[in-house]
């Protein structure tokens, strides 16, 4: 294991300790703490904390170590809170290969657990005492909610444009990656130019990550992905593979595809996606976002951490789970 990997793993272990401590330090919320810990410990990849730590080290380890660790933990808590609420909205029964909270404990308890995770997120950043971090966190939360609303309004809309889709996935995914990376620059006391560069990196990484996720919903298996395949189609989410397939069809073929989408005929939809090469086109879209993410990093001095951030972007676009 390289020295960089050891440092990041040690930092992630510290973040793990923070996640556990903020969900076990009050006997009055023991029941909801137990539910939240179950989700937090359910096998997440800790990508957002890792991004914060990578960016902080890439910028020279400036500022208090305690602040970046608390901030990294806050990004994971915010992410987990949104997942819990998403599962309630989507009526999802499986997440990361395990039963969701709404499946095991009911919608009411799951919503409260998600709310509680939001409070724990803000608890983590309280001692950081940085107004810009607080403002960015609030803006990110607003974007996450906006993304869900946009997705709700476009549910079943077969005429959604690629720019509209891109804006939705930025709000749903890119905004939180943006927070993770740009927040590290803020805590490092960096210039607006560097903060903006890491924001752009996070935004493009998030787009690549979400497009890959949307691809996997049509190409993976439930065992590999850890959630039910075809959920997007079933829930009326018109994602990039479908948008591209609809745009590539003749008028007669489009009518057939639209009918298959409305009837949630996954086999028929998949045949059109394959026929129009929409999976490869979607992969190319994700890889274009990776190149934009890498370009944003070019104003920073080269280091092992910058190379790792580049590698994370590529892996996000090409992942298989």
pLDDT for position 5: 86
pLDDT for position 248: 96
Quote the tokens at residue 6.
């050891």
Separation between Cα atoms, residue 285 and residue 292, nearest integer Å? 11
Pick the more confident residue, 229 or 159.
Answer: 159
List, for residues 142-182, the tens digit of each pLDDT value: 999 999 898 888 889 999 999 999 999 999 999 999 999 99
pLDDT for position 2: 64
Q: What is the mean pLDDT of residues 111-116?
A: 92
pLDDT at residue 228 tops 90: no
pLDDT for position 81: 93
pLDDT for position 196: 98
Closest CA to 280 of 244, 312, 232: 244
List, for residues 59-108, the tens digit of each pLDDT value: 999 999 999 999 999 999 999 999 999 889 888 888 877 888 899 888 99
pLDDT for position 157: 94
- Identify the band that residue 243 occupies on the pLDDT scale cut at 50, 70 and 90: very high
Quote the tokens at residue 295.
């370009």
pLDDT for position 28: 61
CA dihedral sign of residues 158, 215, 144, 130:
negative
pLDDT at residue 26 tops 80: no
Query: Could you tell me where the DSSP H helices lie in the chain?
Result: 3-21, 30-40, 47-58, 65-90, 101-104, 107-126, 131-153, 162-169, 175-187, 192-219, 222-225, 231-234, 240-248, 251-262, 266-275, 278-296, 304-318
- Identify the band that residue 320 occupies on the pLDDT scale cut at 50, 70 and 90: confident
Of the chain, the percentage scoring pLDDT greater than 70 comes to 96
List, for residues 264-287, the tens digit of each pLDDT value: 999 999 999 999 999 999 999 999
pLDDT at residue 226 tops 90: no
Closest CA to 49 of 85, 3, 17: 17
- Is 293 in contact with 208 (CB distance < 8 Å)? yes
- Identify the band that residue 224 occupies on the pLDDT scale cut at 50, 70 and 90: low
Closest CA to 133 of 218, 190, 212: 190
pLDDT at residue 231 tops 60: yes
């Amino acid at each position: 294991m390289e020295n960089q990997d050891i440092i990041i793993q040690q930092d992630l272990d510290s973040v793990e300790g923070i996640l556990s401590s903020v969900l076990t330090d009050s006997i009055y919320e023991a029941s909801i703490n137990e539910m939240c810990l179950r989700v937090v410990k359910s096998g997440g990849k800790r990508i957002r904390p890792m991004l914060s730590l990578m960016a902080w080290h890439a910028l020279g380890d400036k500022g208090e170590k305690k602040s970046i660790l608390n901030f990294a933990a806050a990004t994971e808590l915010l992410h987990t809170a949104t997942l819990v609420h998403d599962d309630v909205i989507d009526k999802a029964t499986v997440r990361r290969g395990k039963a969701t909270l709404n499946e095991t404990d009911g919608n009411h308890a799951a919503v409260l657990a998600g709310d509680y995770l939001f409070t724990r997120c803000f608890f983590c950043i309280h001692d950081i005492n940085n107004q810009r971090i607080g403002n960015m966190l609030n803006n990110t939360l607003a974007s996450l909610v906006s993304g869900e609303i946009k997705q709700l309004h476009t549910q079943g809309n077969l005429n959604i444009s690629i720019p509209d889709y891109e804006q939705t996935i930025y709000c749903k995914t890119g905004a939180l990656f943006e927070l993770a990376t740009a927040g590290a620059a803020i805590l490092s006391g960096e210039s607006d130019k560097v903060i903006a560069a890491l924001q752009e990196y996070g935004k493009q990484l998030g787009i690549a990550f979400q497009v890959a996720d949307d691809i996997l919903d049509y190409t993976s298996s439930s065992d590999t992905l850890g959630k039910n395949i075809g959920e997007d189609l079933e829930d009326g989410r018109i994602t990039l593979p479908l948008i591209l397939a609809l745009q590539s069809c003749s008028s007669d073929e489009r009518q057939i595809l639209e009918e298959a989408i409305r009837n949630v005929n996954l086999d028929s939809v998949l045949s059109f996606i394959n026929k129009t090469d929409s999976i490869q086109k979607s992969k190319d879209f994700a890889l274009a976002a990776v190149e934009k993410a890498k370009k944003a990093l070019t104003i920073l001095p080269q280091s092992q951490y910058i190379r790792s951030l580049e590698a994370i972007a590529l892996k996000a676009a090409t992942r298989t789970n």
